[in-house]
C-alpha cells in the first residue's frame, strides 16, 4: 500500500458531500487497498482520523485509530448525540498548524459498515466522540473551521 497525499484547505473536494459506497463495492480490491492506504497515511501523519475526501476521494469512508484500535467506517451516520456539549481545541491533517476551539457533543452513537460490510455500532465519548463527529463532518463537506466557538472572556 502507499502513503497518500493529503488535500489541504482550500481544496474544493473538502467541501463536497461524499457518495455512499455500495455494498457490492465494499469487498472490491480497490476499496480494500484504499482502506489499507488510508491507515498507512494516518500513521505516517500521526493523525487520529482520516476521511476519504482528505485524500481526494468523494467516498463515504473514514478511518480512525483510538486506544490502540483501528476503525474503518463505511457509510457512517451519527444515530444520536448527547445534549451535553464541551468545547475543546481541534486541528486536522488538511489544516496544518491550525487549532481552534470547537463545541461538540460529549457522547455519540454511530452506525456504519466495517471493512467486511458488517453493520457495526459504536458508542463513544470524550476524544473518540469528538474524532467521530469531526470525520463524519468531513464526509458531509463540513469543516471544523466553520464550527469555531468564540470563547467568552470573563468581564473584569
CB within 8 A of 13, min separation 6: which ones? 7, 53, 56, 58
The β-bridge relationship of strands 49-51 and 61-66 is antiparallel
**Whether residue 49 has pLDDT greater than 90:** yes
Distance CA 95, CA 110 (A): 25
In a domain, 92, yes or no: yes
pTM score: 0.92
In a domain, 2, yes or no: no
**Confidence band for 147, pLDDT divided at 50, 70 and 90:** confident
**Whether residue 60 has pLDDT greater than 70:** yes
Q: List the beta bridge partners of residue 105.
A: 85
CATH number for the domain that contains residue 90: 3.90.45.10
In a domain, 4, yes or no: no
Distance CA 9, CA 29 (A): 30
In a domain, 155, yes or no: no
In a domain, 153, yes or no: no
pLDDT value, residue 17: 97
For residue 19, give the DSSP letter. Answer: B
**Confidence band for 149, pLDDT divided at 50, 70 and 90:** confident
Q: Which of 19, 30, 86, 135 is catalytic?
A: 135
- Residue 135 annotated among the catalytic residues of the structure: yes
**Whether residue 150 has pLDDT greater than 80:** no
In a domain, 5, yes or no: no
**Whether residue 156 has pLDDT greater than 90:** no
Q: Tell me: the pLDDT tens digits for 132-141?
A: 999 999 999 9
Amino acid at each position: 500500500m502507499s502513503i497518500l497525499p493529503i488535500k489541504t484547505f482550500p481544496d474544493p473536494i473538502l467541501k463536497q458531500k461524499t457518495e455512499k459506497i455500495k455494498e457490492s463495492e465494499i469487498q472490491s480490491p480497490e476499496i480494500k487497498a484504499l482502506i489499507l492506504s488510508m491507515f498507512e497515511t494516518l500513521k505516517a501523519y500521526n493523525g487520529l482520523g482520516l476521511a476519504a475526501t482528505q485524500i481526494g476521494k468523494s467516498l463515504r469512508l473514514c478511518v480512525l485509530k483510538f486506544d490502540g484500535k483501528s476503525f474503518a467506517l463505511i457509510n457512517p451516520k451519527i444515530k444520536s448525540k448527547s445534549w451535553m456539549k464541551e468545547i475543546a481545541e481541534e486541528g486536522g491533517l488538511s489544516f496544518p498548524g491550525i487549532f481552534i476551539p470547537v463545541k461538540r457533543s460529549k457522547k455519540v452513537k454511530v452506525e456504519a459498515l466495517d471493512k467486511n460490510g458488517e453493520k457495526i455500532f459504536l458508542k463513544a465519548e470524550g476524544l473518540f466522540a469528538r474524532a467521530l463527529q469531526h470525520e463524519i463532518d468531513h464526509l458531509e463537506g463540513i469543516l471544523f473551521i466553520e464550527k469555531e466557538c468564540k470563547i467568552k472572556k470573563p468581564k473584569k
